[in-house]
Amino acid sequence: MGDRQPTDMAVGEQQQSWDASQYEAALARLESLQEQLDGLRASIPSLAAPLLRPHVSRAQMFAEIKKSALQTTDDLRSFREDWMSEQTQQLLVRSRTSLEEDGDLKKGDSVARYGWAPS
């Protein structure tokens, strides 16, 4: 036990069996991350949209692009913080370990893809 790294202990401790509420919380977290990614997909079109509108003054175009860029920056920062959070990283480690132990992903076919995150 003395030669184990602290990170190894954390992973080992984390691999204890989960109850239904822990699985639901993990699915909600993943769904929330997916929703954030879906929102980020609209970033480039929202930045380009003012450029495509005819009869828009340069000042108005600049203001719209700036507003969109600031919103995108905030959204990206929020996603990065959520992705890099300890909770998400532990979930990803647990997922990788679980996949290595049992690579049969067919069990997940019966799990709903959406509806886990609070609205």
Domain layout of the chain by residue ranges: 32-95
Which backbone phi and psi does 66 adopt, to 5 degrees? -60, -45
- 95-118: average pLDDT: 83
- 5-21: average pLDDT: 59
In the predicted model, is pLDDT for residue 10 greater than 80? no
The whole-number pLDDT of residue 30 equals 94
Average pLDDT across the chain, whole number:
85
Model confidence, pTM: 0.74
User: In 3D, which of 3, 15, 20, 40 has the Cα closest to residue 90?
Assistant: 15
In the predicted model, is pLDDT for residue 8 greater than 60? no
Asked if 43 and 75 count as a contact pair (C-beta separation under 8 A), the reply is yes
The whole-number pLDDT of residue 109 equals 79
